[in-house]
A and B are shown apart, each in its own frame.
Chain A
Amino acid sequence: MLGRFYFLASLIAIELVAGTAFADAGDRFSREVAMIFVKRCLECHNERDASGKLVLVDKASLAAGGDSGPAVISKDPEHSNLLERVISGEMPPPKRGVSQKLTAAEIDALKKWITEGAVWPQGRKLDLYEATTEVRGGRDWWSLQPVRRPSIPTNAMLGTNSPIDAFIRAKLDTVQMQPAPAASRATLIKRIAFDLLGLPPTYEEIQEFERDESPDAYGRLVDRLLSSPHFGERWGRYWLDVVRYADTCGYERDQEKPFAWKYRDWVVQAINEDLPYGRFIEQQLAGDELSDRSEASVIATGFLRLGTWNDEPNDADEYKYERLEDMVHVTSTAFLSLTVKCARCHDHKFDPIPQTDYYRMAAAFWPGAIEPRGRELLGGPTKDELGFEVMGWTDIRQPPPLRLLRKGEPKQPQEVVEPAHLSIVPTLSQPLEPAPLGASTTHRRRQLAEWIAASKNPLTPRVLVNRLWMNHFGMGLVRSADNLGFTGDKPTHPELLDWLASEAISGDSASSSHYSSLKRLHRMLVTSATYRQSSLHPKQDEYAQRDSGNQLWWRAERRRLEAEPLRDRMLFVGDDLDTRMTGPGFKPTIQAEALEGLSQKDAAWKPSRAEEQRRRAVYMFSQRSLLPPLMTTFDSSDTTLPCVQRPVSTVAPQALALLNNAFSHERSQALALRAMEPEEGLLAQTVMNPAPSEKSVVDREDNRRIRLAWQYALGRDPSSQEMADARQHFEWQVAHFSRTQSPTQDSILPRAGIALHLSANEGVTRDEEDCVASWKDQSGKNHHASQPVASRRPRLVRNGQRPRSSVQFDGRKRFLHLAGQVVTSQAFAIFAVVNDQSETIAHREIFSNWDGAGNVGSSLFFGMTGTNAARLSDDFSGVGQVSHRSELFLLSGLSGATGTVVQQNGTDLASRSSPLGPRNLKGPYVIGQQGNIDGEYWNGDLVELLIYDRELKSDERDAVNRYLMKRYGLQSSIEQLRDPRFLALASLCHVLLNTNEFIYVD
């Protein structure tokens, strides 16, 4: 109420002045002179900064004059110092050599005013920021005025029930322009899926949406997407940019900030759960001070900890002021889109933010861990101070008074500034209350948060809805989304902005819970016709001439995918995307060449396991001294300063990255493999190496694969022209690769050092039930396998195809004993051709010498974990996800001086450069369970088991892999990489991933 009253009062004041403009020459001061002083003089002649000791803010200061005596002599302009100097052009002083001399009219007004007696109305005090001028914004600046809900233009409501469209169309109507037609269904579902989830829809989803003719099809789609957990990942990333999120401190040591990722997870969850915006603000600024404080709300205060942190600043004691600036800057940018930090050294040059305001806000952070303390704390509070093992912020002291710093310099402290709110909206500006009795913190941040979240704060809702608009539409209604101040842009549709802002504030309560559901706002925006219109307009050329910046929103903006959705999409289309949420970030593989930028390059970067790297990019570990080139090339944010909107560049290094980076080729190959997956169990092998007579079969299969590649990559079928072009490319590449790729090497099994060799096709003695009573070891070492108890014998299964026979374990009780100590050397290699039919989440083993009595933890075993990862004993367990496990595959595990590796079908699942820790190698050994514990039974086929009692060199290992894979017709990347048809298909897929259609969203 007070706010509105103030606003009205000032309106009235302005009108009164205007109304008397020609009526009363005696009020020349109010009418003309005051604004000359405000605009042209006060910058240097104010109370804080009185150039020549002259202050021109009120009657008394004018009378007092300055160093050169009185500025004005009443009724004597000839001898008035002030007039003389402005006439000569000495004042205002030239800027960069450019004269700032007053206009003749201004000089004339001053002259008349002095002649008339230099009347300065009693009690009138001038203020640099009282009104907007040509050079700076005042407190009457548009974004600081109360949000008022405008009426919706009714004449534009025809054909729409969306107020958004009404505002947009009303303005288009005024210039006789029409919005673009609605985007096609296929375009729309792609747009909305990338917009809300950062992921593409599948081919099937697109088809289904195109077929669904019900009027609420789109609304249901939007609701489904808004409730997907991927929504928080997509929209959380925008916020992470704003809050300069990274996982490390930056600077020399660039230490990891433990648990920074919990903050990232908090953001994703807050968005998914539609945390009310007021709570979103409060928890991040003061989650530790809330009455319902929780671990989550303390994690949210990580907001204040995300800045860079230098453990070796030039002056540790002065460094706290840099940190204050970081916190003021991130807070005022994130929530208010104001550049409060500019007022650290002087009154703001453009916005009504006096220098004291900066310190008022900074005082909120002053009681925290801002003074230098132990380096290990990384500039934050201790775990005990926080109450949780998280990265957060809290007050740790009753702070000394905070003093304003002259020119922002720590060595020039001035007067004490009491904690208070910014003065931009005087009715909302008041000193902070002392903390309630018994409070353990100062409650300054809580009050700051309440002020920001207050429904009367005019900036918060405008900033919010403008950012939502920007991320949905590509640009904000206020283009400068990080700055709603004087040097920012004005809104293209001020009424629409305010209408949306008023929608964002659902109530008028001073409590923080008045913000509307953000998902409701999202829904409102994306269901508007303005959002759903095509990015192409029938009158594209004409309209582009008239409004090249699309200020009137006559079409949708085509958008280039940002780094993250681009990377995610590449993983998605090959069915490789790992959608696990939360937890510590993964480290992507970075080319060795790019690591040269680090000062400690050896220890610096250890990429995560391959399958971890297939998670969404929002879970990528962000190290400030080494941001992944693939991401930065595509304009990912810099992490040192808040980034509200990323630039979108188009440069050749992006093309180089997508053309040549290993990641791009891995994704292309994954896509090719996916497109090659056989139809109805048809073995891919038959097509890989066809007989000449089968040409038509092959052609049909190639066409099918190409079509699938299109569907997976682009969500649509190729046109006939595209099909023809693709075929031509494919054939050319097949011919080319057939010439250039050397044939596969022969596969000869190394014989030396084989300790055990079991093959289901040889040496199996069956009982009456077709179960395995004994199984002859072919190695010559006599480690024969057997099972005396009939009910525990695995079954021998035979069929007409390869493999002809397999030994089938049931996952419950069947296993085999091995004779003697199979492995005697700490270096060994195990190869097993198996499949895994397990449906439990339990561990299961192929081969083991576990013995509860003597080698727990040091036994040697080989199998899989409950999460389908490989394990080579306890020392290398859960290391790499086995894929397509129900089909036959080769699992290899090797350990020796050169390191430890587990492979599936000849491709590394995981490796490390050290051998396994020493194993207790004593027998007995078993097959199909975990040693003697009567548990962890294998469930699936074992076809061949081959164990070497020595270290194999990598070429020997590859030879064994090739031998076994060839024997059982298993696919391997080694084989495929040489197969011309595979290469040609991967090449085609690679082209698809580079198309504009893949990189842009209409």
Chain B
Amino acid sequence: MTSQFPCRQSRRKFVWDMGAGFTGLALTGLLSRDGFFERIGYGSEKAAVNPLMAKPSPTFGRAKSVIFLMMNGAPSQVDTFDHKPLLEKLAGQPLPEGKKFTNSGGRKVGFLTPSFRPFRPGGQSGLMISDFFENVRQHADKLAVIKSCHTDSHAHGSALVAMNTGKTFIGRPSLGSWAVYGLGTENESLPGYVVILDKRGGPISGQPNWSSGFMPSTYQGTLFRPVGDPILDLRGPDFLDRAAQRSQLDLLARLNDAHMAARPGGSDLASRINSYELAFRMQAEAPEAVDLSKESKATQDMYGIGKQPTDEFGRNCLVARRLVERGVRFVQLYSGGGHLEETWDAHKSIETNHGQHAGEVDRPIAGLLTDLERRGLLDETLVVWGGEFGRMPFSEGKGEPGRNHNPYGFSMWLAGGGAKGGTSYGETDEFGFEAVKDKVHLHDLHATILHLLGIDHERLSYFHQGRDERLTDVFGNVVQGVVA
């Protein structure tokens, strides 16, 4: 009874721990209310007095961190990771009549169109990857490519939200929030869940993509800028230098101490006092995390930093590595921002659009995989690549070089963090139109990502308004075929 409805036993004072950094976990009361410890089996209520303490290793899952490379706008699977030689033969023909689909945006429906770049085998595994990702192809043996992904929306806004939160409507906690809720953080001075956007703009629907939904905002993603001050409010006005601010904090501490002395038992007051000292430290430590001057020229070159068009995404990838190295739990990097061709949304031309966007990310991603591996981080860092859906195997008109949205079948890949390298999982039909074999819904993808982090997606729940909410709702199966 208690384990089934812990909420009824003790709650609900939302006091948060000791000024904990960005992702301070709740006091025991809240966690037990949410059933977290009991469910995840990481310890009893009593053992959780310090919720930031290291938790016993889970019995499965190797990944400690996730780097989610979000290809905003939706890359075309048949031009990147899902090789469909038949399209060469059928080029110019319509998709067979029996194939039903929503033609997103009511665009022109054209004819089957083969890949715009040739595919070649990579690594020992011989995974077929197109020349859009010739550098990533060098890492084929690290990749578990899932070719049978499908999702619930053909529209960017809701599909992005679905990829991030599991549902097509806004308001639910995002994947990163669940990860941080489940695992806490290993570095108090940095947010546990970091989102780095493309300079061209954020994703459609904005904030709900990294929202903590009905969970406390403590778990929401923190927007991080890869240069200068990475987070908001890290620096005050110019006149207030560090010495002047230290003087302020000293006075603040004296005033607060006297205030608290008259209010015994004020753990909330003590927490806030601590949060100021932590904030003061963060001001120095957070910029350090994005200071790439400490990285060698060779490392920077590996990521394509200092060259175009790879400089920006290269920097973001290198920052992502530095963040996971420092214990950040979940990093999401967006490639593509704003609208239309500024994203992977290649309605006009796959060649031009993917040429640009893959050109920006291919080398940096390859650099990231190399760097993680040589530092021994790849095994504990799960890298996820993909967009919110895929694209149609047919064009948007006769001879037109663009492709429309396709939620019925698309490819994503996992690398490191316990993913089974050199794997091709699931299949689309012979056109690359819809997933037909070993279909993987995004709930399954989410379940798998949590699994690789050592979390059972059916047991990670948050009690909200009478219900144990889950990232995967009542769905989701771990895709064992991609787990090493």
Contacts and interface: CB of A to CB of B under 8 A. Distances in A.
Interface stretch (A370-378, A620-628, A762-770, A912-920): A620-628
Interface string B298-309: 000000000000
A995 interface: yes
B442 to A, nearest CB: 13
A865 B10 CA distance: 59
B433 to A, nearest CB: 18
A983 B218 contact: no
B13 interface: yes
A732 B24 CA distance: 35
Contacts of A677: none
A864 interface: no
B145 to A, nearest CB: 25
B467 interface: yes
Given A650-B275, A652-B21, A987 B171 contact: no
Interface stretch (B84-92, B237-245, B346-354): B237-245
B204 A997 contact: no
Given A593-B232, A594-B223, A652 B279 contact: yes
Contacts of A988: 251
A640 B170 contact: yes
A725 interface: yes
Given A549-B13, A722-B255, A314 B154 contact: yes
B171 A638 contact: yes
A640 B206 CA distance: 13
Contacts of A490: 8
B252 A625 contact: no
Given A597-B223, A996-B256, A640 B19 contact: no
B290 interface: no
B119 interface: no
Interface string A968-989: 0000000001000001000110
A17 interface: no
Contact of A659 (B155, B206, B236, B256): B236
A584 interface: no
Interface string A486-506: 111110000000000000000
Give the residue among A536, A549, A625 with the most B Cβ atoms within 10 A. Answer: A625
A388 interface: no
Interface in B231-266: 231-237, 239-241, 243-245, 247-248, 250-252, 254-256, 258-260, 262-266
A635 B283 CA distance: 22
A815 to B, nearest CB: 44
Interface string A724-749: 01100100110011001100000000
Interface in A143-180: none
B240 A598 contact: no
Contacts of B138: none
B205 A96 contact: no
A995 B286 CA distance: 24
B7 A487 contact: yes
B338 interface: yes
A483 B271 CA distance: 29
A990 interface: yes
B197 to A, nearest CB: 5
A659 B232 contact: no
Interface stretch (B56-64, B209-217, B374-382, B447-455): B209-217
A599 B264 contact: no
Contacts of A725: 251, 254-255
B12 A729 contact: no
B76 to A, nearest CB: 20
B287 interface: no
Interface string B147-171: 0000011111111000000001111
Contact of B158 (A310, A487, A662): A310
Contacts of A737: 239, 244
Contact of B156 (A252, A659, A733, A983): A252
Give the residue among A479, A536, A647, A999 with the most B Cβ atoms within 10 A. Answer: A647
Classify chain A's interface size. Answer: 35 or more
Contact of A601 (B201, B258, B262, B465): B201
B157 A596 contact: no
B344 interface: no
A656 B201 contact: no
B19 A485 contact: no
Contact of A650 (B19, B204, B207): B19
B47 interface: no
A135 B1 CA distance: 8
A343 B243 CA distance: 59
Given A656-B233, A659-B233, 17 more contacts: A254-B206, A308-B169, A314-B158, A475-B12, A483-B465, A487-B463, A597-B202, A629-B233, A638-B211, A650-B275, A651-B23, A651-B24, A651-B218, A653-B233, A654-B272, A660-B233, A996-B269
Interface of A: 96, 134-135, 250-252, 254, 308, 310, 312-315, 322, 333, 339, 342, 350-351, 475, 479-480, 482-483, 485-490, 535-536, 540-541, 544, 549, 558, 560, 591, 593-594, 596-601, 624-627, 629, 632-633, 635, 638, 640-641, 647-657, 659-662, 665, 719, 721-722, 725-726, 729, 732-733, 736-737, 740-741, 977, 983, 987-988, 990-992, 994-997, 999-1000, 1002
29 contacts: A250-B170, A254-B205, A322-B169, A490-B8, A536-B263, A549-B29, A591-B232, A596-B199, A597-B197, A598-B206, A599-B206, A599-B337, A600-B201, A638-B213, A649-B14, A649-B218, A650-B15, A650-B16, A650-B19, A650-B20, A650-B24, A651-B16, A651-B19, A652-B275, A655-B19, A722-B255, A729-B247, A991-B252, A996-B269
Interface of B: 1, 4-5, 7-8, 10-17, 19-24, 29, 102, 152-159, 168-171, 188, 197, 199, 201-208, 211, 213-214, 216-218, 220, 222-223, 225, 229, 231-237, 239-241, 243-245, 247-248, 250-252, 254-256, 258-260, 262-266, 268-269, 271-273, 275-276, 278-279, 282-283, 337-339, 407, 458, 463, 465-467
Q: What 9 A-B pairs come out closest when comparing CB atoms?
A: A640-B171, A625-B206, A314-B153, A252-B157, A655-B279, A487-B466, A660-B236, A647-B216, A597-B202
